[in-house]
């Protein structure tokens, strides 16, 4: 509303409150209790309507301050190669997932106070929530608890693929929260196709086995060093393993599409189509990224 509209709304609310107060004062002793209740309800309703439809302060909340629980792991930093052992990655994945879980409630709060467009605010908050849920779910399966056990190699590859997903979703969710805090739209920050544990992908290139260009880190642009997972025939790149969830494997954890974070969030929400090859995550959502 305009400032004139604010003043008119305030005058109307004051008139309602004054009229109700006058009726309460004019009531006899037997009716004053009921009149007092009516007065309180009218005053509360007036304040609620003014807060909803005007720009008057009326006790609005102070903006929230973004603060992560300490000590906070450096969620941007690349991680060491676990050499096919999921338990070597778990101490890195779990704190990041826990950090996002502790901080994700800020998304709902910042959705109401951030200066970004309302639709983008809502989508960023929803992405942070989805990423937090997926990251937490991905650290649950320990080694030896894969879906097709009792194949130890398959179980280890499955667990490793899930822990890598936990790391990537933690990065996605924390970036969404950071965008809400800094009030700046997201910029693309895809992982390296060969290993999401490397530095972030900065170069897009075509490689064998990928239908489209993928992002790779500077090191893998010179000499590829894929993340290897166990198999019955020996270590294989994660993107060749049937044990790794196809949602993450076919998307390269977001490296295979320009808006990788959006695709990963959509894949986490929607899964795959019946043929198991076409991720629903490739559809466009409200979260926009720019290069």
What are 165-185's pLDDT values in tens digits?
999 999 999 999 989 888 888
What is the mean pLDDT of the segment spanning 92-118?
85
Alpha-carbon torsion (115, 117, 118, 121), positive or negative: negative
What are the DSSP E strand ranges found in the chain?
203-205, 214-216, 228-229, 236-237
**With contact defined as beta carbons under 8 Å apart, do 171 and 97 qualify?**
no
So what's the pLDDT on residue 188?
87
pLDDT at 77 over 50: yes
What is the distance between the alpha carbons of residues 71 and 170, in angstroms, rounded to a whole number? 16
So what's the pLDDT on residue 36?
60
Comparing 227 with 112, which gets the higher pLDDT?
A: 227
What is the mean pLDDT of the segment spanning 20-36?
58
So what's the pLDDT on residue 259?
86
Eight-class DSSP state of 254:
G
Q: Strand 214-216 vs strand 228-229: parallel, antiparallel, or unpaired?
A: unpaired
What is the distance between the alpha carbons of residues 157 and 146, in angstroms, rounded to a whole number? 9
Helix 152-182, helix 118-138: angle, nearest 10: 150
What is the mean pLDDT of the segment spanning 221-245?
94
What is the distance between the alpha carbons of residues 255 and 190, in angstroms, rounded to a whole number? 5
What is the distance between the alpha carbons of residues 141 and 6, in angstroms, rounded to a whole number? 55
What is the mean pLDDT of the segment spanning 121-136?
92
206: tokens are 């075509």
So what's the pLDDT on residue 151?
80
What is the mean pLDDT of the segment spanning 50-69?
52
Q: Strand 203-205 vs strand 214-216: parallel, antiparallel, or unpaired?
A: antiparallel
pTM over 0.75: no
105: tokens are 């409630």
User: What percentage of the chain exceeds 70 in pLDDT?
Assistant: 63
The Cα angle at residue 290 between residues 288 and 291, in degrees rounded to 5: 155
The residues pairing with 263 across neighbouring beta strands, listed in sequence order, are none
């Amino acid at each position: 509303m305009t400032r004139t509209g604010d003043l008119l709304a305030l005058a109307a609310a004051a008139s309602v409150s004054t009229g109700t107060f006058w009726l309460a004062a004019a009531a006899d002793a037997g009716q004053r209790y009921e009149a007092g209740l009516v007065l309180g309800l009218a005053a509360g309703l007036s304040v609620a309507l003014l807060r909803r439809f005007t720009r008057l302060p009326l006790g609005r909340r102070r903006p929230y301050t973004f603060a992560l629980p300490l000590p906070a792991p450096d969620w941007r930093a690349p991680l060491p190669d676990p050499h096919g052992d999921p338990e070597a990655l778990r101490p890195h994945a779990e704190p990041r997932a826990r950090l996002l879980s502790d901080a994700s409630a800020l998304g709902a709060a910042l959705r109401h106070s951030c200066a970004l467009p309302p639709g983008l605010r809502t989508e960023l908050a929803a992405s942070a929530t989805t990423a937090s849920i997926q990251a937490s779910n991905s650290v649950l399966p320990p080694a030896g608890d894969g879906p097709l056990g009792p194949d130890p190699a398959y179980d280890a590859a499955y667990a490793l693929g899930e822990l890598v997903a936990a790391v990537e979703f933690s990065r996605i969710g924390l970036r969404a929260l950071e965008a809400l805090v800094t009030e700046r739209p997201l910029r693309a920050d895809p992982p390296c196709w060969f290993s999401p544990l490397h530095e972030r992908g900065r170069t897009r290139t075509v490689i064998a086995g990928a239908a489209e260009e993928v992002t790779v880190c500077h090191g893998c642009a010179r000499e590829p060093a894929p993340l290897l997972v166990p198999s019955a025939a020996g270590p294989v790149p994660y993107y060749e393993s049937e044990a790794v969830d196809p949602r993450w494997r076919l998307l390269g954890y977001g490296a295979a599409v320009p808006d990788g974070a959006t695709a990963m969030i959509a894949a986490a929400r929607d899964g795959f189509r019946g043929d198991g090859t076409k991720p629903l995550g490739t559809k466009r959502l409200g979260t926009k990224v720019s290069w």
